[in-house]
Chain A
Amino acid sequence: MKNLDPQLVWAFSGVLGLLTISSLIGWIIRLAVKKPEAQATIRNLNARIGAWWVMSAIFGLTIVLGQAGSLVLFGLMSLLALREYVTLLPTRRADHHTLFWAFFIITPLQYVLIGIHWYGMFAILIPVYAFLFVPTRLAIAGDTELFLERASTIQWGLMVCIYCLSYAPALLMLQIPGYAPDAKLLLYLVLVDQLSDVLQYVWGKLLGKHKIAPLVSPNKTWEGFIGGVATATLIGSALWWMTPFRPWAAAVVSLAITLMGFAGGLTMSAIKRDRGVKDYGTLIKGHGGILDRMDSMCFAAPVFFHIVRYFYVR
């Protein structure tokens, strides 16, 4: 374990403070609110806060372990996300080998490419090679029933659960002049993205009235969206000191993260509604599955990565 960057320590102390305050608030609400119809929401709130402690601890540990830690964590999350995703697909018997490749060859390879900092291959492995491989393998398997649907849903899962999510740990391979290459950018992305989710939830619960897309996601309201995006962007700007960005640039970048996060949440909800499920899984108590938690990250990570790479990597 190398010496920790003081800015990392500051950021993590902030997270610790936030968690403590949240737990206190959750505890007070539990004691203060006795309305029976609110009990389910309060239980869920406290379960969510409890899960945040666990998630923060796991994430903190992997950051301390450096690049290998982040790769293993996000690699596992990719596998779990893909498992939740394919469970909802109407896969057929003939898809078995293609799916085996997706889980146990393509996914590890994608993360190894990040590990060896081979950007050129990391960026095209799934959009080019896996994209062509999946339909070919399915054609070899010989079952033509719903062929295009099966091929494209598997391709889509690889893109979202593996390719997009892998952009988060890929931030560690960016060499930015005058900026120490460590996990700070990853932490920044996770902080802004996840705080945006949480704040949209909080603002929505406090003020939410006008639904944005009631058929897709009944909990998303304009009040929650605007309040959450605004406050998360503000926090993101206030955290400019841990990034290579100037404060105004941090605001723009944070806005991009929160908007993409919202797009991810909405899109992944549409899939759930189509398949008639409430959550992707049950792994994270109070939140649902990995995909319920990482839906926003899947959309925010690649855009954040490419903004940083385009403007800051020389």
Chain B
Amino acid sequence: MSTHPLAGVIAALARLISGVQVQWVDSEPDTRQAVYFANHSSHLDFVVLWSSLPFEVRALTRPVAAQDYWSAGLRKALAVNVFRAVLVARHTATCETQQEPADPHLAIEAMREGMGEHESLILFPEGTRGTGDEVAAFKSGLYYLCQQRPGLRLVPAYLNNLNRILPKGEVLPVPFLSRLTFGPAMTLEAGESKPAFLARAREAVCRLKDL
């Protein structure tokens, strides 16, 4: 499996502008199937995370992107053709209501299909970009996906400062130095409740912030 040439170019640019310093804490990159999940505050999040993976891992790793945002025009070309994004439906952008998407099973099904037996996913369980100050509560997708794929490895990651480089609502980036920290893989434990699991997953991301 090889990656789109444009993906490599975009990844190199993202690394250049973000000067990202990557560290793996109690974990190391490998090609086994996993879901990489991280905090979300910038359009650069996915590209920087993806470009920080070793080449052979990159080729097997696809982002999960919101269908409502990424399924038209240039965005679609970029997401689907260049980065092979798995598009999933999320409920429309009013996050205040805290309601679950109408049919979460469709989204889970798309992710399950998208990763097949060997491929990994990059997922931002907050569901939308935040301000970068705090990590919002995680949506349930991660939990349902793990229920369907017992033993699935989940690799937490924390992206630092990318919200300063390209905050929500801006098109032009400003260079800041950024950091990306990967933590040890975790799995859904037998009998673990949905709120407990989602809180534990969120904590796994947050604790990487200052490492």
Residues of A within 8 A of B21 (CB): 282
Residues of B within 8 A of A96 (CB): 167, 170, 174
A34 at the interface (CB under 8 A from B): no
B81 at the interface (CB under 8 A from A): no
Smallest distance from the beta carbon of B164 to chain A beta carbons, Å? 7
From the candidates A83, A91, A93, A283, name the one contacting B175 in the complex (CB within 8 A): A83
With A91-B164, A96-B167, A281-B19: A84-B174 Cβ-Cβ less than 8 Å: no
B176 touching A87, Cβ below 8 Å = yes
B39 at the interface (CB under 8 A from A): no
With A91-B164, A93-B167: A79-B175 Cβ-Cβ less than 8 Å: yes
Complexed CA–CA distance, A100 and B176 (Å): 11
B131 at the interface (CB under 8 A from A): yes
B167 touching A87, Cβ below 8 Å = no
B177 at the interface (CB under 8 A from A): yes
A103 at the interface (CB under 8 A from B): yes
Smallest distance from the beta carbon of B129 to chain A beta carbons, Å? 13
B172 at the interface (CB under 8 A from A): yes
Q: Is the interface of A mostly helix, strand, loop or mixed?
A: helix
Q: From residue 84 to 132 of chain A, which have CB atoms closer than 8 A to chain B? A: 84, 86-87, 91, 93, 96, 99-100, 103-104
B175 touching A103, Cβ below 8 Å = yes
Residues of A within 8 A of B131 (CB): 93
Q: From residue 42 to 94 of chain A, which have CB atoms closer than 8 A to chain B? A: 79, 82-84, 86-87, 91, 93
Query: How would residues 141 to 167 of chain B score, 1 for a CB under 8 Å from any chain A CB and 0 otherwise?
Result: 000000000000000000001001001
Residues of B within 8 A of A86 (CB): 174, 176
From the candidates B19, B161, B174, name the one contacting A100 in the complex (CB within 8 A): B174
Complexed CA–CA distance, A292 and B164 (Å): 23
Query: How would residues 229 to 254 of chain A score, 1 for a CB under 8 Å from any chain B CB and 0 otherwise?
Result: 00000000000000000000000000
Smallest distance from the beta carbon of B209 to chain A beta carbons, Å? 15
Size bracket of the A interface:
10 to 19
Q: Is the interface of B mostly helix, strand, loop or mixed?
A: loop
Query: How would residues 91 to 127 of chain B score, 1 for a CB under 8 Å from any chain A CB and 0 otherwise?
Result: 0000000000000000000000000000000000000
Residues of B within 8 A of A283 (CB): 19
Smallest distance from the beta carbon of A170 to chain B beta carbons, Å? 24
Residues of B within 8 A of A93 (CB): 131, 167
Smallest distance from the beta carbon of B36 to chain A beta carbons, Å? 23
Smallest CB gap from B170: residue in A: A96
Residues of B within 8 A of A87 (CB): 161, 176-177
Complexed CA–CA distance, A96 and B42 (Å): 14
Residues of B within 8 A of A91 (CB): 164
Smallest CB gap from A282: residue in B: B21
Q: From residue 158 to 200 of chain B, which have CB atoms closer than 8 A to chain A? A: 161, 164, 167, 170, 172, 174-177
Complexed CA–CA distance, A83 and B161 (Å): 12
Smallest distance from the beta carbon of B72 to chain A beta carbons, Å? 26
B176 touching A83, Cβ below 8 Å = yes
Complexed CA–CA distance, A87 and B21 (Å): 13
Complexed CA–CA distance, A87 and B19 (Å): 11
Complexed CA–CA distance, A260 and B176 (Å): 28
Q: From residue 10 to 44 of chain B, which have CB atoms closer than 8 A to chain A? A: 19, 21
Residues of A within 8 A of B164 (CB): 91
Residues of A within 8 A of B176 (CB): 83, 86-87
Smallest distance from the beta carbon of A99 to chain B beta carbons, Å? 4
Complexed CA–CA distance, A91 and B175 (Å): 12
Complexed CA–CA distance, A219 and B208 (Å): 31
Smallest distance from the beta carbon of B155 to chain A beta carbons, Å? 23
Smallest distance from the beta carbon of A290 to chain B beta carbons, Å? 11
Residues of A within 8 A of B175 (CB): 79, 82-83, 103
Smallest distance from the beta carbon of B87 to chain A beta carbons, Å? 29
A83 touching B167, Cβ below 8 Å = no
With A83-B19, A87-B161, A91-B164: A281-B170 Cβ-Cβ less than 8 Å: no
B172 touching A83, Cβ below 8 Å = no
With A87-B161, A93-B131, A281-B19: A103-B177 Cβ-Cβ less than 8 Å: no
A100 touching B177, Cβ below 8 Å = no
Residues of B within 8 A of A100 (CB): 172, 174
From the candidates A79, A83, A99, A104, name the one contacting B177 in the complex (CB within 8 A): A83
Q: Which 8 A-B pairs have the closest CB atoms?
A: A87-B177, A83-B175, A99-B174, A87-B176, A100-B174, A100-B172, A96-B170, A93-B167
Apart from the given pairs A87-B176, A282-B21, 4 other A-B contacts in the complex at a CB distance below 8 Å: A84-B177, A96-B174, A99-B174, A103-B175
8 contacts between A and B (CB under 8 A): A83-B177, A87-B177, A93-B131, A96-B170, A99-B174, A100-B172, A103-B175, A281-B19
Chain A contact residues, CB within 8 Å of chain B: 79, 82-84, 86-87, 91, 93, 96, 99-100, 103-104, 281-283
